[in-house]
Amino acid sequence: MANTACFIIVGRNDIPIYEAEVGSAAKREDAAQLHQFILHAALDVVQDLAWTTSAMFLKSVDRFNDLVVSVYVTAGHILFFGT
């Protein structure tokens, strides 16, 4: 799964707006669920960090095996997650 990435846009009230998986590796059946699990786990960390820092780009907020979660938080609290 090292050659795949996941991008998710999460709106207010933790509602996913957009989700995409990109990469050249063969897709596994559980890859989508694994990415969702990792990003939802990172959501708790992001919600705490978003109110304690003025930075909009939160680099490396969570890790799982070879996946690193980074987040861009907009002024309207729309979250752009990427692994």
Alpha helices in 5-54 (DSSP H): 31-52
Residue range 14-21: mean pLDDT, rounded: 86
Listed by start position, the domains of the chain span 5-82
* Per-residue pLDDT tens digits for 25-73: 656 667 667 777 887 788 888 888 877 888 888 888 878 787 788 888 8
The confidence band for 23, taking pLDDT boundaries of 50, 70 and 90, is confident
Residue range 4-20: mean pLDDT, rounded: 86
Would you mind telling me the total number of residues written for the chain in this entry? 83
Give the pLDDT confidence score for residue 61 in this predicted structure.
82
> Which pTM does this prediction carry?
0.77
Q: What is the DSSP letter of 14?
A: G
* C-alpha of 6 from chain center: 7
CATH tag, 5-82? 3.30.450.70
The larger pLDDT score, comparing residue 32 to residue 14, is at 14
Q: 16-24: long-range contacts at Cβ-Cβ below 8 A with a sequence spacing of 24 or more?
A: 17/78
